[in-house]
Structure 1
Amino acid sequence: MSSIKIVLRKKQLSDGTFPICLRITKDRKTKYFNTPFNSTENEWDSGSGCFNKNRKGYMKQNQLLLKIKDRAIDTYTELAKTKDYFSLEEFEKHFRQESNPANSLMFPFWEEVIEEMNLAGRVGNARMYEETMKSFRKFNPSSKVNFLDITNALLNKYEAWLRSRGGTDGGISIKMRTIRAVYNKGLERNLFKVDKHPFTTYKISRLKGKGIKKALNYEQVCRIISLDTTKHLHLFDARNYFVFSFYTRGMNFADMMVLKWSDIDGQTITYIRNKTKGRFVITILPPVQEILSYYKEHALPTDYVFPILLKNGLKPNQIEHRKKKTLAKYNRDLKEIANLCQINKPLSSYVARHSFANCLKQKGVATDIIGESLGHKDLTTTQVYLKELGNSVLDEAAALLL
């Protein structure tokens, strides 16, 4: 007895969703294969093994699930034709190879991962993967780059190539983390085997924290909060977005953009952070309530709080395009705000998040509490946010000796 089915596994993830898997049952044994998707129970039709109409973009995502299932059926059928008996381990080996006919060639698999992300609606990640792939292809134009060609030496050469073209630690870190993710996905799908993982010796972590520090102190944040934009009306929204982000524990622009009035319930805002899928419930403080009241009074005919997405029902690629366009303007406006507030630091959308952490530290809040409020899983990440303030505290401590 055997069966091939797409199922919702009853193993809840940290964001409240469940993984969607391909389930193969043969000879009373079962093996699961991950798909690119997670889902809530409300979005899943267990009878048909596909997303229902509650899932945004369900038709395209069901196409990918059907493609995965068809590929598994084809693999199973071919094995049954040629062998009287085969194990699930043999099926897995052939299925993994069929998943990427180019076997251990990197670029065809990379393109497949990008396609999966686009179909899953993860267009932001897909764009980052595509940009990194284009960059790596310029560095190494050969179409026959093998996973086994990715070595410590090659990664260092690529880093040097990026630096020769003006690459910064932050930008290089993003590209290297993307390459590592593609490499690890290839390993997970058994496309190749390796004795020594290149990223055990090539340390991406050394690229962190070497750029210009991003956090403002409390006094600088107060200047932005107090900024009178009556003579600079084009900066009104940017000022509001920054203050809102600061008082909502550094809510990211991408999350603010899709924040809906339905996410606001009395005295709290509840949302799922796009980057980490962590769930946040945030008490509405008076500055946030003031901003919400204004945008409620001047609301567009959409479900969204802020006038960034101008209509409902946009597709993921349309949302991503809008984000890219409006975020660029927001960052330009923040630079002008920094100039008006006499803040001699680079000001961007992400500075509100760093500043929130630093200002809490400045007020004496413990690092573990700050980390929890930001949704960090470990204190190491929080320490990166607090590094600049830590230096200033040390300077003030030294001054006590004078």
Structure 2
Amino acid sequence: MARFKITLFKSNIRKDGSCPVCLRVAKEDKTKYIDLQLSATKGQWDEQASRFKKDKRVNPNYENYNALLNRYEVRKDEILQKFMEERINWTLNQFEEEFLGMSKQGKVYDYFMRQVENLKATRHIGNAKVYERTLHMLAKYDDKIEERLFSELDVKYINRFNLEMEKDGCCGNTRKYYLKTLRAVVNKAIKEREASSNTYPFGKGGFEIGKLAEETAKRYLSPQDLELIKNSPQQNPVLELSRRVFLFMFRYEFYRRSHAD
């Protein structure tokens, strides 16, 4: 039976007296230490709780550090559940690969911003603005979006995001617009191995974006607005061309309908 413990790797004492915080995995008389990219001195570490001491005098950031360790514990359990469901007699190396693959996932905000920068650099300004607007909406309803990992964007998260937009008066088509963009980002992140497909929130069994679609109500041009367009030539050549094309199409359609059998 495998054994797990978050502990200090005391065999590697650094110059400042701290030791790496590691996940110790033991199975079949073999042991592996997985570096969790944190460090602590013996005075900062609670050996019994396997966490940083809850004392801001020695650990000003203990709450954030311990919250991160709690998430690592959850991921460890998710990996073991996956191995059990798939009947995998896993090795230490397999566990490490799976664990690091999950824990090294990129942050949603950072990944979004990289996509925006790439789109702007390649002069896809329209798409860049779409991504920026979607990220703005996420930040509006999630004050922790800058720290959010892709693994946290599960079905529950998407449902909550959709509900908050709906409560804010966003119609189905507007919510669909933002969620389709978010889905595109998640898909790209999975393809680039910045995210895992294990918690994919869309598709079969997930959030169904297509159900948000609504038929847009037809809007008619009033006679007053039509007269305004007819009698308002534009100084800008592009706008003037658009005005003339619109009037031509309007008159053509009127003529076609008037002479229809």
TM range (shorter): 0.3 to 0.5
TM-score by length of 2: 0.47
Larger-Rg structure = 2
